[in-house]
Structures are given as C-alpha cells and as structure tokens.
C-alpha cells in the first residue's frame, strides 16, 4: 500500500528525509492553511514568500513525476489546518501510513505527535537531516556541561565538517577572527547593489492573495524581492559570494540609514525554508577563500554564523523547550510599545530598523540585537510580546531559531543559558557602529534630560534596576564599577529621565 507524505512550508527541498524513499503510488501532500498562516500574524512578505515557494516546489515535484496534492488557501474545501488536510486527503487516498519530517516548532510538533492515535494510522516522523548537527549530538555535547557556550560547540562543528581546517588545526591558526571584524563603515561607503527578482504569474497570484486575505497583517508587499525557487535562491547566493562576502566580516556589525542589507547574505529565509542547505552555502564561501576571492576573517565569520550560531540555537531550543519559553529572569513586565509596528518614534535607530523590517521582512543581526532587541531589554518589555513580534516580522522566523535569539540572546529572559551576559548597551555603541545618531532628534552625547539619547540613561537605569540579578555575573564587574562611580545626583537624574521616558511608552 501507499504512503501519504506531508511536506510542510519550510521543508522545500527534494532531499528532505520524508521524500527519501518515495515509490510509485505514494501521494505528496502540501497545503496552504489558515492556521499556519495566522498562528501569529506573520509579515505579509513572509506568507507571500512561503506560499509562492511552496507552489513552485510542488510544481517542480510534479514535473519530476511525483504524485502531488497541493491545496491552495482559497480551495473551497480547505479545512484550514494541517491535520484537517491530512484527514481530508485520506478520504480519497488509501494510505497505510503517513510520512513526514519532524517540524521546526514545538507547537506543531506536539500536535503531530498525536496524529497516529487520532487517525489510527502509523505516522513516521523522520529526523530533519538538513542540519549539520543532529539533535542527539547537541544533547550529548550539552550533557554535564555547566555552561553551553556557542564558541566550543562551533569548534566541534568545524572538526565535524572539515570546513576551514588543516587536519586538526583551524585554518590561519585561530578559530575566530572577530578582532579583524566589526568595523564601522568608512565615509561614503556604498554597499553592493542587489539583483532584483522578477515575479512570475505564480508569485503575482500569491501577492494578490496575500494582499486580499492578510491586509491587516504587518508589512508591505510593495518591494517583494524574495527568490521563490531553489534556482533563484542559488543565484542570490552566488551574487552574495561574488560581491558581498569579501567585506562581510569587516562591516558585519555596521548599520547605516537607508542601507537595508549592507554586505549580509540574505540567505536565512531560503535556508530555513529548505531552498538552500547549510553545507552548500559554507562550501561556496570556503571556495571563495581558497580562490583568494574573500579573506579569512570574512569567510570564517560567515561560516561561524551558519555551522556555529544557527546549529547551536536549534540544539538549545529542542534541549530546553517547552520550559524555555516560560522564563522571565529579569521580571520584565512592560507592554510592547506601538512604535515597534508603526516606526513612529523620535529614536531614529528604531524607526530605521522598523522601516527596514516593514519594507522587507528583514533586518540584519545587529539591527535585531542591538537596536530593537537592546531597547526591549533596557525597557523591560514582556518576553511574550517581544518574542511574538520577532516571530511575526521576519521572513526567516520560525520559533526554533527566533526564540533562543530573542528570549536568550537579546533580552536575557533565560538568565544566561545562551549568553554569558546581557547584550545591554548605551547609545554610544549604536553611534560607533552606525550613522543613525546624526539624523536623530536626541543627542547621543547627552546623558540625561529631554534631549538625551534614551538608550543612554535607560542603560544605567537597567543596571540599577537589575543590580541584584546581574552584579554577581563575572562579566559585569566593570560596568557595575562604572555604575558605582556615579554620585547620588547623577543617579537621581538617570532614574528621573528613565521614569519620565518609560511612562510615555
């Protein structure tokens, strides 16, 4: 008898484990469903990207001779849920079992676990082998370790993949070349132009569907630039390697008004949806180094993001869920301010990042971490609200990768499982890494008062408010020494400015 093989919207790769042993007579099911499109109110571009990529992938499978059932969102009998669509498919298709690849979110994974019982059919949930590390490997690595630092896990991944290795030694004699990275942009620096993507009929139809059915979701569809096929994603990867990779490391942390991508790869949405695989990206980058096209600091930094950070956050998510999402170490209670949606704030750095996010469902790492993330940390925004915002607004957002980055790295709600200390910083950091402050109505050099940069007094107020939880952190010694140097009057001015500002949110 035949199998029903379910492919989820972020499993768009012919090498996915659920397709590894398809035989004639099997049916592949893909479904656009209301429940997945609205469990949070995803950015319009995220839905458009996935629906168009799903439709193109289904068409490719059909061209390759597979038997595919594709359910569109507007199909009359669409039940609105993945379970409903599996059940409906089984009414017409006589299957002796269901095959799928484990899904990327706890929410849906917990649901799929019960399908076997609910359907009275075996459900074979296969490992997702699109990652460099297995979840078991991560668990074994994490076992008995007091602290789970990414850097050590990354070295294991370098050894496992052989990327930038000379036998047992790292290429260039060091594992990490960040001392050569993190530069601010030289005056007049112009980031490389990006190739634009032409929309075919399928994408045009999806864009219309999304505008009609999700008009109240955040974001604009005006400048939709996502590739929606593997070929288009590969072309964007090539173009990144060719034009952006050489400067990737140096300006990885830089930000500038109107520069929405700088030298970043923009591959996360493709990687997370399956259009690209991590090793092919890293091998292309390594090749560029070997050919002398890109320097080691850039290539090592880039590869570390993928086989280091990306693998590490996934391991941590599955190791710690579901309790992980419930923690609130700093007892943050403030509502998410409206300007995270509207961009309407005098803080130019935030309005720029929100604009980029609104226009492209994209912001690069430092914009996410040190602008919107840092503000949420300093202002004490409720973890649930800020986590949901990040899950909504980025085209690459799935909980397995979004949650550790937001909850752990950006707002320290996990109390230090992921990062050894909070990524809190004052306006001085943003000023060093960007030109945002030049166009801001606040003054980054003023410390308190109505014209002072809010990041600056909020930073000291944050340390003051959270002293009990943070002072004993070994890596916070210096900042608390600086806090201790502030006299009574200065502290009063900081607290007053912070209170006045926070009361307006």
Report CA Rg, the chain: 24
Contacts of 229 (CB under 8 A, 6+ apart): 53, 56, 57, 60, 275
Contact pattern for ligand FAD over residues 369 through 388, marking x by CB under 6 A: x---x---------------
SS3 439: helix
> Binding segment for ligand FAD among 15-23, 216-224, 352-360, 393-401 (CB under 6 A)?
393-401
Q: Specify which residues 255 forms β-bridges with.
A: 434
The interface with ligand DLZ within residues 63-122 (CB under 6 A) comprises 82, 103-105, 108
Helices 44-63, 201-213: crossing angle, 10 deg rounding:
140
Q: Around Cβ 269, how many Cβ atoms within 10 Å?
A: 25
Q: Smaller CB distance to ligand FAD: residue 83 or 362?
A: 362
- Select from ligand FAD, ligand DLZ, ligand SF4, none the partner in contact with residue 272, using the beta carbon and a kind-dependent cut-off of 5 to 8 Å: ligand FAD
Contacts of 51 (CB under 8 A, 6+ apart): 9, 32, 73, 206, 209, 210
State yes or no: residue 404 binds ligand DLZ (CB under 6 A).
no
Phi, psi (rounded to 5 degrees) for 151: -55, -40
- Select from ligand DLZ, ligand FAD, ligand SF4, none the partner in contact with residue 444, using the beta carbon and a kind-dependent cut-off of 5 to 8 Å: ligand SF4
State yes or no: residue 277 binds ligand SF4 (CB under 6 A).
no
What's the residue count for the chain? 505
The four Cα atoms 123, 124, 125, 129 give a dihedral, to 10 degrees, of -160
CB 164 within 8 Å of CB 158:
yes
State yes or no: residue 313 binds ligand DLZ (CB under 6 A).
no
State yes or no: residue 402 binds ligand FAD (CB under 6 A).
yes
Q: Which residue is nearest to ligand DLZ (CB)?
A: 9
State yes or no: residue 377 binds ligand SF4 (CB under 6 A).
no
Measured between alpha carbons, how far is 497 from 5 in angstroms, rounded to an integer? Answer: 58
State yes or no: residue 497 binds ligand SF4 (CB under 6 A).
no
Minimum CB distance to ligand FAD, residue 326 (Å): 18
Measured between alpha carbons, how far is 464 from 480 in angstroms, rounded to an integer? Answer: 9
Binding residues for ligand SF4, rule: CB under 6 A, are: 347-349, 427, 430-431, 436-437, 440, 442, 444, 453-455
Binding residues for ligand FAD, rule: CB under 6 A, are: 264-268, 271-272, 302, 305-306, 309-310, 313, 364-365, 368-369, 373, 390, 394, 396-397, 401-402, 405-406, 409-410
Binding residues for ligand DLZ, rule: CB under 6 A, are: 8-10, 31-33, 36-37, 42, 47, 50, 82, 103-105, 108, 398
């Amino acid at each position: 008898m035949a199998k029903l093989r379910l492919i989820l919207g972020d499993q768009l790769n012919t090498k996915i484990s659920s397709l590894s042993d398809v035989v004639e007579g099997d049916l592949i099911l893909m479904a656009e469903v209301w429940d997945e499109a609205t469990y949070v109110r995803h950015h319009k571009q995220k839905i458009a990207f996935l629906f168009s990529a799903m439709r193109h992938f289904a068409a490719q499978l059909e061209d390759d001779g597979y038997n595919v059932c594709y359910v569109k969102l507007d199909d009359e009998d669409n039940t609105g849920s993945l379970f409903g669509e599996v059940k409906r498919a089984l009414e017409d298709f006589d299957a002796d079992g269901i095959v799928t690849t484990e899904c990327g979110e706890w929410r849906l994974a917990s649901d799929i676990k019960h399908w076997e019982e609910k359907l009275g059919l075996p459900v074979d949930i296969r490992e997702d082998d699109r990652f460099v590390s297995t979840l078991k490997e991560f668990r074994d690595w994490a076992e008995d370790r007091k602290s789970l630092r990414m850097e050590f896990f990354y070295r294991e991944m370098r050894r496992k993949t052989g990327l930038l290795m000379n036998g047992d030694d790292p290429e260039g004699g060091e594992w990490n070349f960040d001392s050569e990275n993190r530069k601010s942009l030289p005056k007049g620096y112009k980031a490389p132009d990006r190739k634009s993507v032409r929309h075919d009929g399928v994408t045009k139809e999806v864009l219309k569907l999304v505008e009609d059915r999700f008009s109240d979701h955040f974001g604009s569809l005006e400048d939709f630039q996502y590739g929606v096929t593997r070929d288009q994603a590969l072309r964007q990867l090539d173009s990144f390697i060719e034009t952006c990779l050489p400067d990737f490391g140096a300006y990885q942390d830089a930000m500038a008004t109107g520069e929405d991508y700088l030298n970043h790869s923009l591959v996360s949405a493709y990687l997370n949806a399956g259009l690209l695989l991590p090793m092919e990206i890293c091998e292309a980058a390594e090749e560029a180094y070997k050919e002398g096209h890109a320097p080691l600091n850039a290539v090592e930094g880039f590869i570390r993001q993928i086989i280091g950070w990306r693998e590490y956050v996934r391991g941590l998510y599955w190791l710690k869920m579901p309790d992980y999402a419930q923690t609130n170490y700093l007892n943050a209670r403030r509502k998410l301010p409206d300007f995270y949606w509207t961009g309407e704030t005098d803080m130019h750095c935030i309005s720029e990042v929100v604009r980029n996010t609104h226009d492209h469902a994209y912001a690069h790492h430092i914009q996410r971490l040190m602008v919107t993330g840092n503000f949420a940390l300093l202002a004490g925004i409720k973890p649930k609200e800020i986590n949901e915002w990040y899950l909504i607004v980025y085209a690459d957002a799935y909980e397995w990768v979004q949650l550790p980055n937001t909850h752990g790295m950006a707002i320290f709600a996990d109390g230090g499982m992921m990062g050894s200390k909070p990524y809190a910083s004052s306006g001085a950091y943003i000023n060093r890494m960007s030109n945002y402050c030049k166009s801001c109505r606040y003054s980054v050099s003023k410390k308190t008062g109505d014209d002072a940069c809010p990041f600056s007094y909020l930073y000291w107020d944050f340390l003051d408010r959270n002293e009990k939880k943070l002072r004993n952190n070994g890596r916070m010694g210096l900042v608390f020494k600086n806090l201790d140097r502030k006299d009574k009057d200065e502290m009063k001015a900081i607290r007053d400015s912070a209170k006045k500002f926070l009361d307006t949110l």
